[in-house]
Chains A and B, each alone.
Chain A
Amino acid sequence: MPLSTQSQGDDEQYVLVACSDNARNLSNILKAISFKDHAIFTATPNGLRVTVEDSKCLQANAFIQADIFQEFTIREDSVTFQINLTVLLDCLNIFGGSALPGISTVLRMCYKGYGYPLTLFLEEGGVVTVCKINTQEPEEPVDFEFCSTNVTNKVILQSEGLKEAFSELDLTSEVLQITMSPSQPYFRLSTFGNSGNAHYDYSKDSDMMELFQCTKTQTNRYKMSLLKPSTKALALSCKVSVRTDNRGFLSLQYLVRNDDGQICFVEYYCCPDEDVEEE
C-alpha cells in the first residue's frame, strides 16, 4: 500500500510533501476558513498559508507552520495552487475525523507541481485511502494593505468572551457595528435588527480583556453576512485580537491550539460597510 511501501525515491518527483500523524491538525484549522469552495494554497519553507475570499471584501488566511507537520519538504521557494476546499475537507475526514484519543488518521500530502493534482494518502487502522484532488489556476489574492503601523485600535480578548456575543448575534441585523474607544463604551458590538437594537459592551478592565490599546474613538459597520463565517474560527480559538486601522478595515486574528497543543493562526480581514456614519 502506498503509505508503507513508498520509498524515499518517490518523493523526489514531488515539489511539496507534507506529513502529519494526525490529519485533524490540518482539517480543523481549514474548517475555520471554509466559507467558500475555492482556497489558494501557498507553501513556503515556513509552512502553508491557505486563503479564502468572498466578494473581494473578506479574506481569511490560515497559517499552518511547517513544524505542525512531522515532515515538510518543499523543493521550490514557493508553491501556489488553488483547490476546492470543501472537497479537501471531505477527503481529510474520509474516516470520519474521529476525535477519540488513540485513533487518528495519518496523512501524507504530495504535490508534483503545476497542472498536477494534490495527492493525499490517508491511513487509519490499516485502511488506506488515496485521494487525487484536481488543482486549479491560482487567483491573485486581494492585498488588504492592512499594516500594523496604521492600526488605530486594538484589543485582545479571550475567545470565551466573544463566543457568547457571537452566538447570540441578531442575524436580522444587516450589519455588525464595532465601536472601539479609549473612553466609554471602550469596546462595543451593536446590531440593529427587526426586534430592536442590541449592544454588547466589554469594559477595558474585564477579565476577558487581555490587552486594550485604543487611541481614538472609531465606529465602523461590517456586513453581518461577511462576518458570520468568522464564527467558525472563533469557536476553535482560545484568543482573538481585534484591530481596526485608520481606514476602518477590520482584522481579526485567532489563535488556535490543535490536539497536540501546537499553535496556529487564522486571520480574517473585512472591509467596512460603505455608508459609515462617523460619530
Chain B
Amino acid sequence: MKFRGKIVDVACLNHFSRVVTTISKLTKMCVLRLTPDNLFFVLSGKVGNGGVSMWCELSQANFFDEYQMEGVSSEDNEICLEVTPENISRALKTVQNAKAVKVKLTKKHCPCLTVIAELPTLSSINRVVTHDVPVDVIPQRLWHEFKEPDMPDFDVSIYLPPLKTMKNVVDRMKNLSNFLVIEANLNGEMNLKIETDLVSVTTHFKDLGNPPWGDDASQDAGPSQSRDPDTMAEARVDIRRLQQFLMGQQVTPSRAMCNIVHQRVLHLILLHEDVSLQYFIPAVA
C-alpha cells in the first residue's frame, strides 16, 4: 500500500485546500478513498451523524502534478482511510504559499498522511515544513460501506438559488425552528418553510429551472415524466444539516441543484469543473 502525490501549482493547492475545508465543515470524520484516477471523500449515513451521507469526487489529475498509488492488491487497487478533514485542512492552510507540497501515506508511530511543504526562502537553504496527520486504514472487508450512493428515484429535481441567499434565509429560519420543509415542483419553484407556535415563515423562490435529466437518470421514466408541473414534492429536514451544507461552501459551484424524493430524502448536488459534491439529508416525519 503506497501513496504519494505532489502539488506544485499554487492555484491547484488553493483549490484543493478549499475543497478539504468545505468537507471539514460538513463532517468531523470521513473516509478518504484513493484510486488511481480519483480521490473520494465519503460519509455513509449512520445514525450517529443524523443519517446524513456525503460523496465528494475529485479527479486527481486536476490537482496533482505527480500521483502514484498502489492499493492493497492489484485487483483492489484502492486505499481507504478514515481521516479528520479538519486536520488535513489545517495542515494545507499553513502551507498555502509553498513552492511544492507533497502528500504521502507514511507509517510513523501510527499511519499518517504526511504533508511536506517546501517553503520559499530568500537564502539558499530550503525550509521544509512537515505535518503528520494521523489516519486509520480501513480494512477491505468494510469497503462495501463506502460505495457511490445510487441516484435516488426523485420526484422533483430543481436548480438551487444563489447559495448565499439560501444560506441567509436558512440561518434566520434556524433561529426560529429546528425543522424546515423544503418543497419544489417542476415549474422552477421552490419554497422553504418553517412553522412554530410563534411564527410561520415561507420563502418563495421562482424561475429556478429544472435540470434536464436524461433517460438514464430517472430509471423508470415514471413519476417525474408524467408529473403535474405545479405539484410540490417536499421533505422535512433537520435545519442544522442543511445549514451545515450551506455554511461549508468555500467553492463557488458552477451548478447547484437538489433532488427531492417526496417525504424521503433531500439530495443536494454541487458541481464544479473537476469536483462534485453530493449530500443526502434524510427527511423526518
Inter-chain contacts of B172 with A (CB < 8 A): 90-91, 93-94, 96
Which of the candidate stretches B26-34, B51-59, B161-169, B210-218 sits at the interface with the other chain?
Answer: B161-169
Q: How far is the CA of A124 from the CA of B197 in the complex (A)?
A: 26
Among the 9-residue stretches B95-103, B201-209, B265-273, the one with 4 or more Cβ atoms under 8 Å from chain A is: B201-209
Tell me, in angstroms, the Cα distance from A130 to B173 when the chains sit together: 12
Given the known A-B contacts A87-B176, A87-B198, are A128 and B168 also in contact in the complex, defined by CB atoms under 8 Å? no
The yes or no answer to B94 lying at the interface (CB within 8 A) is no
Q: How many angstroms from the CA of A183 to the CA of B127 in the assembled complex?
A: 67
Provided the pairs A1-B206, A87-B176, A90-B176 are in contact, do residues A131 and B201 lie with their beta carbons within 8 angstroms? yes
A95 near B199 with CB under 8 A, answer: no
How many residue pairs at the A-B interface have CB separations less than 8 Å? 63
Task: For the complex, give the distance between the alpha carbons of A133 and B172 in Å.
Answer: 14
* Inter-subunit contact B169/A94 (CB<8 Å): yes
Contact A127 B202 (CB under 8 A): no
* Complex contacts, B205 vs chain A, CB 8 Å: 127
Looking at chain A's contact residues, the main secondary structure is mixed
What is the 8 Å Cβ interface bit string for chain A, positions 57-98, against chain B (1 contact, 0 not)?
000000000000000000000000000101100110111100
User: What B residues does A86 contact at CB under 8 A?
Assistant: 175
**B130 at interface (Cβ–Cβ under 8 A)?**
no
Q: CB of A132 within 8 A of chain B?
A: yes
The reply to whether B165 and A87 form a contact with Cβ atoms under 8 Å apart is no
* Residue A129 at the chain B interface, CB threshold 8 Å: yes
Q: How far is the CA of A137 from the CA of B227 in the complex (A)?
A: 46
Are B199 and A133 in contact, CB atoms less than 8 angstroms apart?
yes
CB contacts (< 8 Å) of A9 on chain B: these are none
Would you call B200 an interface residue if the criterion is a C-beta within 8 Å of the partner chain's C-beta atoms? Answer: yes
A91–B196 Cα distance when bound, in Å, is 13
The residue in chain A whose Cβ has the minimal distance to the Cβ of B162 is A125
Residues of chain A in range 81-130 having any CB-CB distance to chain B below 8 Å: 84, 86-87, 90-91, 93-96, 117, 124-130
B263 → chain A closest CB, angstroms: 23
Q: Which of A117, A129, A132 contacts B169 (CB 8 A)?
A: A129
Q: Which single residue of chain A is at the shortest CB-CB distance from B165? A: A127
- B165 adjacent to A134 (CB under 8 Å): no
Compute how far the CA of A117 lies from the CA of B168 in the bound complex, rounded to whole angstroms.
Answer: 24
Q: Name which of B171, B198, B206 has the most chain A CB atoms within 10 A of its CB.
A: B198
Q: Once bound together, how far apart are the Cα atoms of A134 and B200, in whole Å? A: 9
Q: Which of B161, B168, B171, B197 has the most CB of A within 10 A?
A: B168
Distance in angstroms between the alpha carbons of A97 and B242 in the assembled complex: 20
Interface contact A1-B199, CB-CB below 8 Å? no
Q: Specify which chain B residues have a CB less than 8 angstroms from the CB of A126 in the assembled complex.
A: 206-207
Beta-carbon contacts under 8 Å, B132-167 to A: 161, 164-165
Residues of B within 8 A of A93 (CB): 172
Q: Are A128 and B204 in contact (CB under 8 A)?
A: yes
Question: B207 — which chain A residues lie within 8 A by C-beta?
Answer: 126
Closest to B174 in A: A90
Q: Which of A124, A125, A134 contacts B199 (CB 8 A)?
A: A134
Q: Are A127 and B161 in contact (CB under 8 A)?
A: yes
| B201 and A94 form a contact (CB under 8 A) | yes
- How far is A242 from B71 in the complex, measured between Cα atoms in Å? 75
For the A-B complex with A125-B165, A126-B206 known, give 17 more contacts whose Cβ atoms are closer than 8 Å: A84-B199, A86-B175, A87-B198, A90-B175, A94-B168, A96-B164, A96-B172, A127-B165, A127-B203, A130-B202, A130-B204, A131-B199, A131-B200, A132-B199, A132-B200, A133-B199, A134-B197
Top 9 A-B residue pairs of the complex, sorted by shortest distance between their CB atoms:
A96-B168, A129-B203, A131-B201, A133-B199, A132-B200, A94-B172, A90-B175, A90-B172, A128-B204
**Residues of B near any A CB (own CB < 8 A):** 161, 164-165, 168-169, 171-173, 175-176, 197-207
